[in-house]
Amino acid sequence: MNKAEKFLLEFGLHEKCFDFEEHVQSFTLEMESGLANKESSLRMLPSYLGVEPGTPPSGEVIAVDAGGTNLRVALVSFEPGSAPVINRLEKHRIPGSEGAISKDEFFRRIAEYIGDRTEASGDIGFCFSFPCEITKDRDGKIILFDKEVKVDDSEGKYIGKELNAAFTGEGKDMLNVTVLNDTAAALIGAVLAHGVSGMGGYIGLIYGTGANICYLDPEKGMLINTEAGGYGGFKQSVCDAEIDAESDDPGTQRFEKMVSGAYFSTVALKAIKLAARKGVFSAVTARAIDRFTGLDAVMIDSFMREHGGRGTELGALCAVGKDAVLLYGIIDGLYERAAKLVAIAITAVLRRSGASATHKGYIVAEGSTFRYGFKFRERFEKYIMAHVHGEKPYELVLADDHVVIGAAASVFL
């Protein structure tokens, strides 16, 4: 065992610190408690949506995708027998991501971005990538903004009502707004776009700026948004605990803060600074790391893909080659931990969904961290398959524009 592994194990950052089956059972129990409206770190929020439209959709719908980093707006055209067509797609920075804004300003800016698309459609499918409670009339009651997006006085407000207030304040007519979570939007969009049916389970996974999972519950008969990022069963390392304490919402979204794209660079920076203080690196490298700030995903990706190359910005911190090897080992170990923890959550959901080797589940994965995180997908699937008896119990597809399509299609469900 090398110094990097010893460090990760000593400070609770190694994947071996988490027993797979033990945590699958813990996650499952939290799911069951949430479904029974008992105390749980998993909210298990009903969506009041299925997966497939009952009849082929037809018409134009405005789609809004309010993600953890960006906000996308588009018109989506549906015709029976044809693939959905996305028109007038625009991307903006999500309001509140660059400093706190008011609730009224948040919705005013979204209404402004939607603009004259309201002349083409009176329906909006609104994908909201933050915790919210969907109501039976398909509105969404905001629980909180996370992923360091700050919108004041938003807790408890209803998305559809607030958006319509912004429209009517500008003299426009009220619109029909259907609110859903990003996991549900990705899943619905992929199922519709690919004509999928008859699977043993349906699961949507978001692993990008944030982390979340939804699935079609066989007993509830609807998609359930687990709000997986809030799972509290994984023991935090000292680095994780510091990040949680320093965040805008301490004590919440603990799983998300350990693994998601919004926090991974901070976890890595805290880990390598801790390693420097504990004598893992040479003295010269330790001093360089101690002074270093501003680690981001681009720097990490470049360093990892160059196999610890000292010509990269991160590699340049290393005075000698062995320090670059150790630095690579620590960050690689953090990716392993993240992949294992996400695989644990998905395995619990897969089993709950009813998927099996003979009746496979359908997993739609969305998010830049899943797609581009260093060797993430292969690590993630490795951990799942290590705890499967027999054939693979799922089919995994990557979402492209399926969130936008699914948001629009939700108005037909």
Phi and psi torsions of 357, nearest 5°: -60, -30
Asked whether residue 132 falls in the same domain as residue 231, the answer is no
pLDDT for the residue 288:
97
Asked whether residue 28 is domain-assigned, the answer is yes
**Is 78 part of a structural domain of the chain?**
yes
18-37 pLDDT tens trace = 999 999 999 999 999 999 99
Q: Is the per-residue pLDDT at 54 higher than 70?
A: no
Domain span at residue 98? 59-194+401-412
- Whether 379 and 305 map to the same domain: the answer is yes
Same domain, 285 and 311: yes
Specify whether the CB–CB gap between 282 and 320 falls below 8 A.
yes
For residue 172, what pLDDT is reported?
84
Residues 241 and 362 in one domain: yes
Element (H, E) at 183: helix 182-194
Write the pLDDT tens digit of every residue in 344-382: 999 999 999 999 989 999 999 999 999 999 999 999 999
Instruction: Indicate if 131 and 243 belong to the same structural domain.
Output: no
Looking at residue 158, the DSSP 8-state letter turns out to be B
Note whether residue 213 is domain-resident. Answer: yes
Check pLDDT > 80 for residue 57. no
pLDDT tens, position by position, 207-265: 998 999 999 999 999 999 999 999 999 999 999 999 999 998 899 999 999 999 999 99
Q: Do 9 and 147 fall within a single domain? A: no
CATH number, domain of 28, equals: 3.40.367.20
Taking the alpha carbons at both ends of the chain, their separation in whole angstroms is 54
pLDDT band at 71 (very low <50, low <70, confident <90, very high): very high
Let me know whether 203 and 190 are in one domain.
Answer: no
Q: Helix, strand, coil % (nearest 5) of the chain?
A: 45, 20, 35
Per the CB < 8 A criterion, the answer to whether 157 and 131 are in contact is no
Confidence check: pLDDT of 68 > 90: no
Q: Which amino acid is at 75?
A: L
Least confident of 171-175, 269-273, 395-399: 171-175
Mean of the pLDDT values across residues 78-93?
92
Question: What's the chain's average pLDDT?
Answer: 94
> Same domain, yes or no, for 256 and 293?
yes
Can you give the CATH number for the domain in which 146 is found?
A: 3.30.420.40
60-64, 67-71, 76-80, 85-89: which has the minimum mean pLDDT?
Answer: 67-71
Predicted local confidence at residue 193, as pLDDT: 86
pLDDT-derived band at 55, boundaries 50, 70, 90: low
- Residue 50, domain member (yes or no): no
Q: Could you tell me the two tokens for 309?
A: 């190359």
Per-residue pLDDT band at 128 (split at 50, 70, 90): very high
Residue 53 lies in a domain: no
Residue 316 has pLDDT above 70, yes or no: yes
- Domains in the chain, number: 2
In 292-321, which positions are buried (b, 16+ CB within 10 angstroms) versus exposed (e)?
Answer: beebebebbeebbeeebbbebebbebbbee
Is 274 in the same domain as 370?
yes
Residues 209 and 338 in one domain: yes
In the predicted structure, residue 194 carries a pLDDT above the cut 90: no
- The confidence band for 401, taking pLDDT boundaries of 50, 70 and 90, is confident
pTM value? 0.92
Residue 308 lies in a domain: yes
Q: Are residues 163 and 284 in the same domain?
A: no
Q: What is the pLDDT of residue 82?
A: 85
Is 49 inside any structural domain? no
- Same domain? For 165 and 219 the reply is no
